[in-house]
Copies of this chain bind each other. A is one copy, B any other.
Amino acid sequence: MTSPASQTHLLERPSFLLSQLGFYSAQQFTNRLSQLALHPRHFGLMTHLAADEGQSQQQLADAMRIHRNVMVGLVDELEGRGLVERRRHPVDRRAYALYLTSDAHAQLTIATQLADAHDAELMQSLKPSQRRLLVRLLKEMVDANGLAPGVHPGLHEPGG
């Protein structure tokens, strides 16, 4: 009564293993960040903004390859929490330049420590050389599948 389908079992499928571990990773990181009342999408946007403050909403949306409406919603959320400031762009007066507040910098420091602890727990059984190898293989896959580096595809969906 065993179907041929069972010959390639889920636990050997790379796509399944990625989905399983990716879901688990997102779930655990969401739990960790909840102590700061932040969602991973906030952490993602703050991390991107911290790397280059003063850019316009449109520049950040382009860099993260997300629709400008999604970006406006995310920035609204962070502004409402006192984490992001919109200032008039010095060159383009019709645009907003985005800055993190000092509260945001403090939260980002703690959130980064939480992310480090999360990475360490998830990778606990791997040697440093295996971790580097895993990161290299995963980055290659991100590239080959046309995903934007450092951008979670769940962000593309408004409200997601």
Count of residues in A whose CB is under 8 Å from the partner chain: 75
Contact between A17 and B145, CB atoms less than 8 A apart: no
Quick check: is A74 within 8 A (CB to CB) of the other chain? no
Q: Copies of this chain, how many?
A: 2
Given A15-B119, A20-B152, A142-B20, CB of A112 within 8 Å of CB of B25: no
Residues of B within 8 A of A12 (CB): 135
Which of A1, A12, A48, A53 has most chain B Cβ within 10 Å?
A1
Quick check: is A134 within 8 A (CB to CB) of the other chain? yes
| A2 vs B122: C-alpha distance when bound (angstroms) | 28
Contact between A135 and B17, CB atoms less than 8 A apart: yes
Which of A20, A99, A139 has most chain B Cβ within 10 Å?
A20
| A100 vs B52: C-alpha distance when bound (angstroms) | 55
Residues of B within 8 A of A35 (CB): none
Contact between B15 and A25, CB atoms less than 8 A apart: yes
Residues of B within 8 A of A137 (CB): 126, 130, 133-134, 137
Give the distance to chain B from A77, nearest Cβ to Cβ, in Å.
18
Partner of A8, one of B18, B112, B138: B112
- Give residues in A with beta carbon < 8 Å to B: 1-6, 8-27, 29, 40, 44, 46-48, 50-54, 99-100, 105, 108-109, 111-112, 115-116, 118-119, 121-126, 130-131, 133-135, 137-145, 147, 149-154
